[in-house]
A and B are shown apart, each in its own frame.
Chain A
Amino acid sequence: MGTLIWTTIGAILTLSVYSFLYKDNPFYKFAEHLVVGISAGYYLVIYYYNFIDPNVVTPVFQLRLGDQAIGFGSGAWWLALIPGLLGLLLYTRFFPRVAWVARWSLGIYVGGYAGLGISPVMQARVIEQIGANALPLTSVTNVLIVVGLLGTLAYFFFSMKHKGILGALARVGIVFLMVGFGASFGYTVMSRISLLIGRVSFLLHDWLQVV
C-alpha cells in the first residue's frame, strides 16, 4: 500500500514534468519548484553528514586529546580546524562589510585545484596523445587520424589568419569536426530514448501495471 502511494506520487510528478512538452503550466511549475526545494534540503543535509560532520565537527569536538596524531593525514583535530575555519570564512559573505574575507577560502580552493589540474591534463591530453598519434602514414586509418588531428589543431590556431596552407588545413579540420559532431549526435539518440522508455515503463508497468 505504502509503495502504491509513493509510486503514485512519483507518477504524478513524472506526468507533471512531461506536461512541460505541451507548454509551461501550473503542474510543471509545481514540479519544478518542488524539486528545487527538495534538492536544496537534500544536499544541505547530505553535505553535512558526509563532509562536515566526519571531517570537522567530530574530530574537533572530540578534541582527541592525548592521542599522538600529528602531521598531515593523521586526522589530528587541530588539522580539522583549518578547513572548518575556511568554511566559516565563506560565511563572511553574509556581511557585506567583511565579505572580501571569503576570498581567502576561494583563493585556496581555486589555486589548489588549478595546480592540481595542470599536470594530469598535460599527461592525458598532450603527452599521451603524442605517443598515440605518432603514426606512420602507412594505412588509411592512420592517415585519417593524423590528418583529422592536424586539421582540427589548425582550426584552433589563433595566431594567424586562416589563409593559405593554414586556411586549407583549417577547412579540413572543420570537415572532421562536422562529421564528428553529426556522428556523436546520432550515436546519443539511442541512450536518450532508453531513458524515455525507462520512464514510460515506470508509468505503465510499475504504476498502472497494465503491461
Chain B
Amino acid sequence: MRREIPLAITFLIGVFMLVDFFVPHHGVSAAAEEMKQWGTIVIAASILLGVGNLIRVHFRKIRRKSDGWGYSIMTLASMAVMLYFGGPWGTIEEGSAFNWMFLNMQVPLQSTMFSLLAFFIASAAYRAFRLRSAEAGLLLIAAIIVMLGRVPLGQFLTRGLPEKATLPWLTETIMAYPNMAAFRGILMGAALGVMAMGLRIILGIERSYLGGEK
C-alpha cells in the first residue's frame, strides 16, 4: 500500500507524459501542461522542507553550543530578516529592502564565489596537467594550444603564418572536430542511460528515490 500507490501513480503519469510528446491534440497537451505546473508547484512547496531542515540543524548547533554556533545564529537571523521584509506586510518590489538585500548581499556574494574559479582553474591546471601518460599529454597539449589560441598574444605569435597554421585556426578546429566528436559520443551514451533509467522509473523497477526497497 505504502509503495504500490505511489508506484502506480508514477507509472500512469509517466506513460501519459511519454505519450504527450507524440500527440499534438489540444486536450492532451493542455493536461500535460497542467501536470507540469503541478510539478513546479510541488517543488516550490518543498522549499519549506529544506528550510525546516536548515532551521533544525542550526538550532541544534546553537543549543549544543557546538563550535561555530555563533554563525548558525547569523544564518537564522539573516533568514528571519529576509522573511520579515518579504512577508505579507513587506514588499519584494524593486527598491524594497528585500530587493536591496538580494541585490547587494546575495548577488555580490554569489558572483564573488563564482569568480573564485579564476584562481582554482589556475591551481588545478598547475597540478593536474602533468605528463604522467600519453593521455595526460594529449590533455595538456590540447589545453595549451587552445589557451594560446584564445588570447591576442597567441595570435601575435603565429601572425604571418598561413591561416591554417595559426593558433586561432588550430583552436577553432580542435573545438569544432575532436572536441565535438568526443562530446557527441558522451552525450549519446548518456542519453541512452537517461532513457533506460526513465523507463525503469516508470515501470517501478528503479525506486531508490523513494527510499530503498521495502
In the complex they form, do A and B come into direct contact, defined as C-beta atoms under 8 angstroms apart? yes
Number of interchain pairs (Cβ within 8 Å):
390
A14, A51, A107, A195 — most chain B CB neighbours (10 Å): A107
CB distance from A140 to the nearest CB of B (A): 9
- CB contacts (< 8 Å) of B197 on chain A: these are 114
Q: How far is the CB of A113 from chain B (nearest CB, A)?
A: 6
CA A17 – CA B115 in complex, angstroms? Answer: 10
User: Which residues of A have CB within 8 Å of B10?
Assistant: 107-108, 110-111, 114
Contact residue range for chain B? 35 or more
Q: What are the 5 closest A-B residue pairs judged by CB atoms, nearest first?
A: A152-B185, A41-B82, A148-B181, A87-B45, A111-B10
With beta carbons under 8 angstroms apart, the residue of A30, A105, A118, A176 that contacts B178 is: A176
Q: Which residues of chain A from 55 to 109 have a CB within 8 Å of any chain B CB?
A: 55-56, 71-73, 79, 82-84, 86-88, 90-91, 93-94, 100, 103-109
Name which residue of chain B comes closest to A80, CB basis.
B41
A38 B35 Cβ-Cβ under 8 A: no
Of chain B, the residue at the smallest CB distance from A177 is: B182
How far is B130's CA from A170's CA once the two chains are assembled, in angstroms?
22
Specify which chain B residues have a CB less than 8 angstroms from the CB of A10 in the assembled complex.
104-105, 108
Instruction: Known contacts A51-B41, A119-B21; decide if A34 and B104 are in contact (CB<8 Å).
Output: no
* A138 interface residue per 8 A CB criterion: no
Contact A83 B142 (CB under 8 A): no
The 0/1 profile, CB within 8 Å of B marked 1, for residues 167-200 of chain A is: 0000001111111111111111110110110110
Q: Determine the distance from Cα of A32 to Cα of B112 in the docked complex, in whole angstroms.
A: 11
Q: Tell me the smallest distance from the CB of B148 to a CB of chain A, in Å.
A: 8
Q: Taking the complex as formed, is A29 at the interface, i.e. its CB lies under 8 A from any CB of chain B?
A: yes
Cβ of B157 under 8 Å from chain A: no
Inter-chain CA distance A185–B121, complex, in Å, is 8
**B contacts, CB < 8 Å to A:** 2-3, 5-7, 9-18, 20-22, 27, 30-52, 54, 68, 71-72, 74-83, 86-87, 92, 98, 100-106, 108-119, 121, 125, 129, 135-136, 138-147, 150-151, 171, 174-192, 194-195, 197-199, 201-202, 209-211
- Say whether A44 contacts B47, CB under 8 Å: yes
Bound complex: CA A113 to CA B5 (Å): 18
Output the least CB separation between A16 and chain B (Å).
9
- Closest-by-CB residue of A relative to B100 is A6
Contact of A45 with B by CB under 8 A? yes
Residues of chain A at the chain B interface (Cβ within 8 Å) = 6-7, 9-11, 13-14, 17-18, 20-21, 29-52, 55-56, 71-73, 79, 82-84, 86-88, 90-91, 93-94, 100, 103-122, 124-126, 129, 132-133, 141, 144-149, 151-153, 155-156, 173-190, 192-193, 195-196, 198-199, 202
Which DSSP category, helix, strand, loop or mixed, fits chain B's interface? helix
Q: Once bound together, how far apart are the Cα atoms of A35 and B82, in whole Å?
A: 11
CB contacts (< 8 Å) of A192 on chain B: these are 115, 117-118, 121
* Known contacts A17-B109, A31-B109; A47 and B44 CB within 8 A of each other: yes
Known: A52-B41, A72-B30, A79-B34. A13 touches B198 (CB 8 A): no
Contacts of B139 in A (CB 8 A): 178-179, 181-182, 185
Q: Chain A's nearest CB lies how many Å from the CB of B121?
A: 5
Q: Are A195 and B114 in contact (CB under 8 A)?
A: yes
Q: For B92, what are the chain A residues with a Cβ–Cβ distance below 8 Å?
A: 45-46, 49
Given contacts A37-B74, A174-B135, A179-B142, A72 and B182 within 8 Å (CB-CB): no
